[in-house]
A and B are shown apart, each in its own frame.
Chain A
Amino acid sequence: MSNPHDPEAILDAFAVEATHDWSTLDRYLRQYPELTEELIDLSSELRLANAPGKPAGGTVADPGLEAAWQEFLGCKRQAVPSNEVVNPFVRCKGAAFVQLAAALNVPRSFLTAFRDGLVTATSIPEPFTRRFADATSLSVESARDYFVQAQPGLAALAFKSDVKPSHQGQKTFRELVLATEMTDEQRQLLLRDCDADGLY
């Protein structure tokens, strides 16, 4: 993740403003006088980008296409050594954990069960695994590996708890959905994941 206070990030933020009139430019110039030249240059570029008119149609010659595609294919989603499983919750604590729950549209208590390895890996439907992988920047394979290797007790050891740890048995995904307090809409959507994957 880039640092939001880098000059580059500040120029990015200016670029994606809804308007680039004087009040917006002036605000940035006053806040970041060290970037005056860059902001004025960018303002000019954005004015031209914003000018009406369709870009020319038709295919543009792209001699670098094949090499670029091969390079892209070569950048496989980061492979993790087979004996090393990434725990996505290590970097999803506090606010990030709350954000992850929001991104998955599940209650935090539901997500906690995954963090603590309380869900039988084989019962987790593929659509949920994919969404989880997407939200945690893992490959789908890495997410699966995490679910498989997460064990009750072991996973939870990494996190501070207010209560004395105790062994709990694993639940299936469907059982967890039915047992967790959530809105009807959330429940239906998660159950639909199970149905789509033929998991009962």
Chain B
Amino acid sequence: MTQNVARERTQPPVAPLRKRLPDGGLYCRPNEVETALTALLELSTHELIERSRIEDVDAPNYVLSECVLYFFRRPGLVDDALHDLFVILRQRVLRAVPVTARRLAGTAKLVEKSGEQEIQEVVIQKFQEMLCGDRGGEYDDRLDCFECRFNFALARLRSTARKRVWRDESRYESTDFTDNAGEASEEIESALAAMRNALNDEGVDFLYRSKLHTAINSLPPDQRRVIELIFQEVPIDSQEEGVTTIAKLVGCVEQTVRNRRDRAFKTLRDALKEEDDV
């Protein structure tokens, strides 16, 4: 028998996902993933692997990570082909959870940020556990999330890993002292809105966005939550009954929320000014 992805292809070409949503419905792949899978089933295994090696997401033959995982999970591949896809998948996970280097103050030495290193290790280990469990015969339906939206599922792993790092690095917990030396509230709100828009604007300088990205990742959890809710345009407080506010969601008084916002803003602004980040 030839090693061809299409050799066993008959309808339905794409195996459905089995994981269930909390409402009981089955997970569904986005249309673009289903369409890509249908097209990829026409390829030989060799062609599939060669195309999966393409790293440029804008390249016409780029294979979505959701699809690489699909073929990896399905039986029928020989170990060599499986190994190639295994390496490709790990590389994609590692690239999506990067460890940035930082120049050690006063020296030319580069050091990796330990928290990020730990997050990367936890994420790749968790992914490995799922792959192993899936191969072991017990269908691991958590991998269905990755077949559905790979990067979002990775973000989910990162979020859990970050929580663990936060716990371990309790020194990063901020204290809620009152800081009156800040800027006017409106200016901060407006600057934060500009940052939020910049994050999603491809027209904004990549380096700026990258620094902002790293800076948000470095915020202590309580400040980061406030920033996320401000980015979601949730009001800090409200006199109106029934209105969801940041104060209610994070369970503290309005002034505490403002203090966290101000300190987070200062951290982000300072990070964006820094020239030493690599």
Contacts and interface: CB of A to CB of B under 8 A. Distances in A.
Main secondary structure of the interface of B (DSSP, over half): helix
B149 to A, nearest CB: 5
Interface string B243-268: 01000011000000000000000000
Contacts of A160: none
A196 B7 contact: yes
A78 interface: yes
B219 to A, nearest CB: 9
Given A41-B221, A72-B128, A131-B10, A15 B145 contact: yes
Interface stretch (B17-25, B36-44, B103-111, B181-189): B17-25
B15 A46 contact: no
Given A36-B249, A48-B213, A52-B200, A127 B10 contact: yes
A42 interface: yes
The 8 A-B pairs with the shortest beta carbon distances in the complex, nearest first, are A78-B137, A49-B155, A44-B228, A15-B156, A127-B8, A189-B10, A60-B94, A45-B159
Interface string A135-148: 10111100000000
A154 interface: no
Interface string B145-159: 100110111111011
Interface of A: 1-2, 4-5, 9-13, 15-18, 21-22, 25-26, 29, 36-38, 40-60, 62, 64-65, 68-69, 71-73, 75-78, 99, 102-105, 126-128, 130-131, 133-135, 137-140, 185-186, 189-190, 192-193, 196
Contacts of A127: 7-10
A193 B10 CA distance: 8
B156 A139 contact: no
Contact of B227 (A29, A44, A189): A44
B212 to A, nearest CB: 9
Nearest to B204: A52
A92 B121 CA distance: 38
B271 interface: no
5 contacts: A15-B155, A16-B149, A17-B152, A46-B155, A103-B16
A196 B10 CA distance: 11
B182 to A, nearest CB: 22
A11 B11 contact: no
Contacts of A42: 155-156, 159
Interface residues of B, number: 82
A71 B153 CA distance: 23
Among A12, A18, A22, A76, max chain B CB count under 10 A is at A12
Among B1, B21, B133, B155, max chain A CB count under 10 A is at B155
Contact of A46 (B56, B152, B221, B234): B152
Contacts of B141: 1-2
Nearest to A77: B137
A50 B200 contact: yes
Interface in B197-248: 199-202, 206, 209-210, 213, 216-217, 221, 224-225, 227-229, 231-234, 244
Given A1-B18, A45-B156, A54 B58 contact: yes
Contacts of B232: 21-22, 25, 43
Contacts of A126: 1, 8
B155 A45 contact: yes
A158 B210 CA distance: 60
A55 B263 CA distance: 29
B206 A53 contact: yes
Contacts of A135: 15
Contacts of A26: 244
B138 A60 contact: no
Contacts of A45: 155-156, 158-159, 162
Among B15, B91, B137, B224, max chain A CB count under 10 A is at B137
Nearest to A133: B75
A65 B90 contact: yes
A29 B16 CA distance: 29
Contacts of A49: 96, 151-152, 154-155, 158
Contact of A64 (B124, B148, B163): B124
